Amino acid sequence: MRLFPDAMSPSAYDIDYGYLYDRGYRGIIFDIDNTLVEHNEPATEKACLLVRKLQDTGYRVSVVSNNREPRVKKFADAVGCDYVYKAGKPGSGGYRKAMEIMGTGMKDTFAVGDQLFTDIWGASNTGIRSVMVHRIASHEEIQIHLKRIPETLIKGIYILLYGKRGERELL
């Protein structure tokens, strides 16, 4: 089903990226808000270290966000990765643009995000794999909060069908 992630992880910081690199993945597309940092928070040391570690491994990294340019560019510049702002997720345009910038393709790129109806659905629409992570913070805008209700339901169905499938089953 297009709304389902390919895998789930407690956090973007818990994914075994080394394993996925060995399996052939070369590009990672991250959502920012509630995936790498709390909503609208600046880049943290933790986020910077993760991106640097991934780049040292050999990955190309990009953030793809529906947020506006000042927010997205500032974050991307701080962590040192590529970016696409006003990405229009769940549309595929932003993801495709990021892959173009990174020089990676549908087979060797995966997305990491906290929202089913933007990040995960968008990855599916693009034809790339996705890892859904738990949101970092609980204070959110009301429209995001409302989407969490059907999201929790679909997540529940997913876990019933597939169990807690981790990133090692991404391929």
**Which of 66/108 has CB closer to Mg ion?**
66
Taking the complex as a whole, the smallest distance from the CB of residue 67 to Mg ion amounts, in Å, to 9
Site size toward Mg ion, by CB under 5 A: 6
Measured distance CA(160)–CA(137) in Å, rounded: 25
Using CB under 5 A as the binding rule, whether residue 33 contacts Mg ion is answered as: yes
Is 113 in a helix, a strand, or coil?
strand
Stretch that binds Mg ion, among 9-17, 83-91, 92-100, 114-122 (CB under 5 A): 114-122
Question: Among residues 75, 68, 69, which one has the least CA distance to residue 30?
Answer: 75
Taking CB under 5 A as the criterion, the residue among 114, 140, 151, 167 binding Mg ion is 114
Task: Closer to Mg ion by CB, 20 or 87: give it.
Answer: 87
- Reduce the DSSP state of residue 52 to 3 states and report it: helix
Q: Crossing angle of helices 45-57/69-79, nearest 10°? A: 60
* By the rule CB under 5 A, 34 interacts with Mg ion: yes
Rg of the chain in Å (alpha carbons): 14
Of 35-43, 66-74, 85-93, 96-104: span binding Mg ion (CB under 5 A)? 35-43
The answer to whether 31 contacts Mg ion (rule: CB under 5 A) is yes
Distance CA 39, CA 136 (A): 8
Residues lying near Mg ion in the complex (CB under 5 A)? 31, 33-35, 114-115
